[in-house]
């Protein structure tokens, strides 16, 4: 599932491709057809990301709300576009670009009231100026493990399973610790590294947590698991201890108990 860096990356890209244009909106698969008609031909203003949600804003106040979920994918094509391949839920056709969306968990037309309601259910988004103090307020009163809290979109928006594993390894923290047991200075450190990691992810359009020195390669060229330190790894890059898998908030958390003892 794309994490917050990816939605922000897509929002920038799609705004650059379609802003100011009258965009045709179709649903070759048919499931989004009646909603597509409500926005097709209108001038596209911008795409905004909040956490893992995307909002495509059109003149007149209508908004296409997309959540990619686990299977959602975009495909970039030239305009005029070729015949759709697969179950294309939404197709946006601009002057030079066409974009196909398949498999999203949400794709619907809403208004600004509903957009605000969706956003109100989310915690602060580190890449959208979300306030650290608001996240700390939720963390310091919770007896849940910090490793579960950080994945809860109501606490902080945009963090997914890969960022979570890499973040706790980076700061050497045991993800089982209760939120209420964290000192403010520990939370400050966690937040600082989370924001930094997400900004690097936004820069490259993919999560990269290793350094160029560790990777022995240019970061931009890294693909797959080579980009990570602990996520889906067998051995700890620092101490050589076997990476263990913890089930926390119903997702696998990769960690090194030897290095993450704080």
Site residues (vs Zn ion, CB under 5 A): 236, 238-239, 241, 256, 258-259
Q: Which is nearer to Zn ion, 64 or 230 (CB)?
A: 230
CB of 259 to Zn ion, least distance (A): 3
* Strand residue runs (E) in the chain: 24-26, 44-50, 53-58, 63-67, 73-78, 88-93, 97-102, 106-110, 244-248, 251-255
Catalytic one of 28, 48, 52, 97: 52
**Residue 31, Cβ density class (10 Å: 0-12 exposed, 13-18 middle, ≥19 buried):** middle
- Is residue 257 within 8 A of residue 168, CB to CB? The reply is no
Largest CA distance in the chain: 58
CB of 79 to Zn ion, least distance (A): 50
Q: Which is nearer to Zn ion, 43 or 258 (CB)?
A: 258
3 is catalytic: yes
Catalytic one of 62, 132, 178, 251: 251
80 is catalytic: no
- CA-closest candidate to residue 212, choices 221, 202, 203: 221
CB of 39 to Zn ion, least distance (A): 50
52 is catalytic: yes
2 is catalytic: yes
Q: Which is nearer to Zn ion, 11 or 236 (CB)?
A: 236
- CA-closest candidate to residue 53, choices 101, 122, 100: 122
| CA pair distance 177, 183, nearest whole angstrom | 11
CB of 189 to Zn ion, least distance (A): 18
Q: Which is nearer to Zn ion, 134 or 241 (CB)?
A: 241
Residues catalogued as catalytic: 2-3, 52, 251
């Amino acid at each position: 599932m794309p994490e917050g860096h990816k939605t922000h990356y897509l929002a920038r890209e799609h705004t650059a491709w379609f802003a100011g244009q009258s965009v045709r909106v179709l649903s070759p698969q048919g499931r989004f057809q009646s909603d597509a008609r409500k926005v097709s031909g209108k001038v596209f203003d911008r795409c905004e990301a909040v956490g893992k949600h995307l909002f495509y804003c059109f003149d007149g106040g209508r908004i296409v709300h997309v959540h990619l979920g686990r299977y959602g994918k975009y495909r970039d094509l030239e305009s005029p576009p070729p015949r759709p391949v697969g179950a294309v839920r939404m197709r946006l056709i601009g002057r030079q670009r066409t974009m196909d969306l398949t498999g999203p968990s949400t794709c619907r037309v809403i208004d600004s009231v509903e957009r605000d309601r969706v956003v109100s259910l989310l915690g602060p988004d580190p890449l959208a100026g979300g306030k650290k103090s608001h996240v700390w307020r939720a963390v310091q009163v919770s007896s849940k493990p910090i490793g579960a809290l950080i994945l809860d979109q109501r606490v902080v928006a945009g963090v997914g399973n890969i960022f979570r594993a890499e973040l706790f390894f980076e700061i050497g923290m045991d993800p089982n610790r209760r939120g209420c047991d964290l000192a403010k200075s520990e939370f400050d450190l966690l937040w600082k590294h989370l924001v930094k990691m997400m900004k690097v992810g936004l820069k490259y359009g993919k999560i990269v947590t290793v350094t160029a020195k560790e990777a022995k390669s240019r970061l931009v060229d890294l693909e797959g698991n080579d980009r990570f330190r602990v996520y889906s790894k067998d051995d700890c890059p620092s101490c050589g201890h076997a990476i263990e898998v913890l089930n926390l908030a119903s997702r696998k958390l990769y960690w090194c108990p030897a290095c993450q003892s704080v």
